[in-house]
Each structure stands twice: as structure tokens, then as C-alpha cells.
Structure 1
Amino acid sequence: MRNKWALALVIVLLLGGVQISSMVLPSFIFPGLDQIWASFVEILSHQLSDIGITLARFTVALSLSLAAGWAIGLAMGAFRKTIGEFFTPAFSIMQAVPALSWVLLAVLWISDVNLRIGFICFFISMPLIAIAVYEGIRNIDPEIVEAVDQFRPTKLQVLRMLLIPQSLVYLLMSVRSVSAFSLRILVFAELIAASTGIGQRMQVAQTNFQLDMIFAWTLVLIIVNFVLVFLIDKTEQRLLRWRGEAVIR
């Protein structure tokens, strides 16, 4: 209940700040709430297809990143001295590459827009997921590992009964941060490397100096992110309901 009141207070303060700023500054620099709302309604009335395109790209890119990241992270945890030692520095290098570099390379290498956007999101998001899964496997309680070893299981049995369940927990826990980050990267990629989608619409608004439209598209992204977090929370509560939550008084 307190979280809802805090959220409501933050929203009221933000709206109040926007309205006050629009009264102090010219409308072409800081639009008022009425202009932003009119642009928001226009988006919902005439530009829903761009929202659908962005969400479709996001769903495909995130799904592929989750699948590949989970598989590679699981393999890294199961075979630390071979696969783990190879992919750890490889992912460190991939994460050091700026997002803009991935965007520019994709523009030069790939002609299909959807493949281009998928390439960018995949190679930025997948290492984050793989490392999260790998670290989750490394954090398995040593006492549990020793207890399992008492039964002399095969590598396949260890993988099925210990590593896969542990990796799935950390996979679900990493979805929240990775999905929000992937959405931001995808919109940024659309702004530079696509002719459709939310990012491209924001680029057009910026070119035409339509700040009210930029604010409206930002509002759309905020709503999408809230819905995404809500769905992830519900999924975590359902699949990880056996995990306790520590409360510090």
C-alpha cells in the first residue's frame, strides 16, 4: 500500500514539475500537459503500428537472448575449465564494445532492418544473461554440491537435478534488468538504424522540433516498461514463490 502511495506522489510531483516548467518556459521548449496529452492521444489513434513493431522486435530479440544466454551460461557453469574460461573473457570484450559501435556495424553489415535491430539487441543483451546464469551456478552452496556428490551422480544427472534448476532461478531474476535495458537499446537502435518503430518516430519528432511528441513517446515507453515489470513480477511470484524474502527491521 505504501508503494502505491509513493508512486502516486512521484507521478503528481513529476506532472506538477512539467506543468510549472511549461508555464515558465516557451511552449516550443517545454510543452504543457495539454499538448503532451494531445500528442499521446494522436499516437494511440494513428501510430499504434509503430508501437506494435517495436514490441514485436523486442519480444523476438529478448526471447533469443534469453534462450542463447541461458544455454551458454549453463554450459559455462557445467564446464568451467573449458567453456567457462573461454567465454568469460569473450563476454568481457563484448560488454566493453559501446552500443553505438554495435549499431554502426549492424547498419554496415545487415540490410534487413529487423535482422539489424535483432543483431544489435542480441549481442548486447545475451552476454548479460549468460554471465548472470553462470554466476548463479557458481554461487551454489558447496554443502549442497558435496551432498549430491555422495550419490556419485553422472554429469547428466548433476546437470538435470542441480544446475538447470539453479540456473533457471537466476535466469528469471535477471530478466527484469535485462529486459528494461534491452528495450532502451532497441529504441536507440531504431532511432539510428530503422525506418519504423518508436525510435524512428522519436527521431522524426526531434527533427521537426516536436517536443510534445517526444514527451508523448517517452510516456508510451514508461507505460510499456511498467507493464513489462508488472508481468515479470507476476511471473517471478508464481515460479519462485518457494523463495523466502528477508525483511530487515
Structure 2
Amino acid sequence: MDRIAKRFGLGIPGRVLGRNRGTLVVVIVFLALVEFASLFLPPYLFPDVVAIVRALYTILTTDLSDISITIARFAVALVLAIMVGWSIGLFMGAFRTAVGQFMLPALNIIQAVPALSWILVSVLWISSVEIRIILICFIIGMPFFALNVYEGLRDIDGDLVKAINQFRPTRLQIIRILLIPQSFVYLLLSVRSAASLCLRILVFAEMIGATSGVGERMAHALANFRMDQIFAWTVILIFVGFGVSRISAAAEWWLLSWREEAVVR
């Protein structure tokens, strides 16, 4: 594929296609399966590819505000979850006796509560839709970051700790020189998986407790048996998820480029 691109002067697009051959093949196979299934099922159960593309075009030309609202809610909730989760995880690692032994069971209990319970409780307790949706996404993502940072600090090399202790540093110096850089690494490495989880929870929360956003529009499409719109909204969410993943990967590469990658030969 790269040789064909170079022959026709495509250059960079050819290299991009070469790196994404697997994704391209999977998309083509998936579209073929959708088209094949639409031949045997009624349109309200399984629309064809043309109907899905039309619904996607309609959404992109008339419902951009709902997409923007969902992305804005997601960005705010994710940033809050990262900041608060990182701070809690850092303090848990720095003060394991005073903070860690109490916060660890609390975070485990928060994680054990089903997302649906948080959604139903927030609908009854919080009148503001925006605060409700952001809080749900935050409460699901924050423990993930906190626990990942805490476990990362627990895995610090013992020899490195002994070497630093030879200089008799204060607790503040240990936090600044050792714990913050180490926690930052584990924080970045957990963003990609946690972000996708938060996005799914946010859309689910919008379906139940919001009057706008992608989740609310998907609930409206379900109520009207518009399966083509459901597929179209799903495609949009996939692109948003890919975008978040690419941004997270770029941030990891840029901020953690100093780390040597272990390669098994």
C-alpha cells in the first residue's frame, strides 16, 4: 500500500494508511456484516449502511450542540477526576499510615457501588443536570486514578528509596523529588483506560438523567425505534473515544519520552 501511495505521490497519506491497515480491514468487515444482516432483518431492527450514513449526516448537520455538550461535560469531569484522584493517591502514598489506611477502604467501597446506583441517587438528590452528570462521571473515574497512583508509589524501587534516604531528606523533599514524578508516570498511563470508562458512564448517565447530550439523543432514538440513529450516534462515540485515546497516547509520548521502553527480543 505504501508503494502504491508513493507511485501516485501520496506520501504521508500512504504511510498513515500503512499504520492503520488493521483498523481499515476491521471497519470494512464490520460494514459488510451490517449490510449482510440488513438483507434478512427489518429496517427498524437492522438498517443498512446507506441508512446509517444518512442518519450520521443528519446528526452532524443538526445535532452538533448535543455532541459539544457531551464532550464539554466529559472534559470537565475527567479533568476534575484526574486532579482530585492524583492528589488523593499522592497523599495516600506519602502518608500511608495517616491517610492510606483510611482512604484505601473508602475508595474500594466507592468503586464497589454500581454506576446505576450513583445515577439513580444523583437524579433524586441533585436538581442541576450539569452538576449531576459531571458528578457521576467524576465519582466513577476519581477512585481509578487515586488507586493507580497509590499502587504506583507502592512499587517504587526499594534501592532508590534507600539511596535517597542517605541524604536525610525531609518528607516534603521526598514528595517533591521522588513521589510526584513517580505518581505522574502512573497517572498518565491510567488516563487512556479510565477516560474510555468515564465516557461510557457519562453517556449512560445522560440517557437516564439528562435533557440534552448524546445519551439523551440515543434514548430518544430508542423510544422512536430509530435504529439507524442509534448506530450513527454509536459511530460518533467511537470517533470521540478514538480521539481521546490518541490525545492520551500523544501526551504519554511527549511527557514520558525520557523513559526507556523494554523490548523483548
Aligned partner of 2:187 among 162, 167, 171? 171
Equivalents in 2 of 1:28, 1:245: separation in Å? 49
Q: How many residues are paired up? A: 249
Aligned partner of 2:104 among 47, 65, 88? 88
Equivalent positions of 1:188-199 (< 5 A) are 188-199=204-215
Equivalents in 2 of 1:89, 1:235: separation in Å? 31
Equivalents in 1 of 2:66, 2:173: separation in Å? 47
Q: Does 1:102 align with 2:118?
A: yes
Q: Does 1:162 align with 2:186?
A: no
Give the residue type in structure 1 aligned to 2:128.
D
CA shift, 1:29, in A, is: 1.0
Equivalents in 1 of 2:161, 2:38: separation in Å? 61
Equivalents in 1 of 2:54, 2:180: separation in Å? 49
Equivalents in 2 of 1:112, 1:7: separation in Å? 40
Aligned partner of 1:50 among 46, 66, 69? 66
Report the counterpart of residue 203 of structure 1 in structure 2: 219
Equivalent positions of 1:18-97 (< 5 A) are 18-97=34-113
What secondary structure, in the 3-state scheme, does the structure 1 residue paired with 2:261 have? coil
Equivalents in 1 of 2:261, 2:204: separation in Å? 36
Report the counterpart of residue 116 of structure 1 in structure 2: 132
CA shift, 1:138, in A, is: 0.5
What do the CA deviations read for 1:42-87 (whole angstroms, capped 9, x no partner)?
A: 0110000000000000010001100000000000000001200001
CA shift, 1:7, in A, is: 1.1
What do the CA deviations read for 1:173-197 (whole angstroms, capped 9, x no partner)?
A: 0100110000000000000000000
Equivalents in 2 of 1:237, 1:18: separation in Å? 36
What do the CA deviations read for 1:84-141 (whole angstroms, capped 9, x no partner)?
A: 0001111111111000000001001100000000111111110000000001111110
What secondary structure, in the 3-state scheme, does the structure 2 residue paired with 1:24 have? coil
* Unmatched segments (≥5 aa) in structure 1: none
What do the CA deviations read for 1:14-64 (whole angstroms, capped 9, x no partner)?
A: 111111111121111100000000000001100000000000000100011
Q: Does 1:11 align with 2:11?
A: no
Equivalents in 2 of 1:19, 1:248: separation in Å? 42
Equivalents in 2 of 1:212, 1:190: separation in Å? 20
Equivalents in 1 of 2:90, 2:120: separation in Å? 31
Aligned partner of 2:260 among 219, 244, 249? 244
CA shift, 1:246, in A, is: 2.4
TM-score normalised by length of structure 1: 0.98
* Unmatched segments (≥5 aa) in structure 2: 1-14
TM-score normalised by length of structure 2: 0.92
Equivalents in 1 of 2:218, 2:155: separation in Å? 42
Equivalents in 1 of 2:39, 2:146: separation in Å? 48
Give the residue type in structure 2 aligned to 1:118.
I
RMSD: 1.0
CA shift, 1:3, in A, is: 5.1
Report the counterpart of residue 182 of structure 1 in structure 2: 198
Q: Does 1:222 align with 2:238?
A: yes
CA shift, 1:5, in A, is: 1.2
Give the residue type in structure 2 aligned to 1:151.
F
What do the CA deviations read for 1:159-218 (whole angstroms, capped 9, x no partner)?
A: 000000000000000100110000000000000000000000000000000000000000
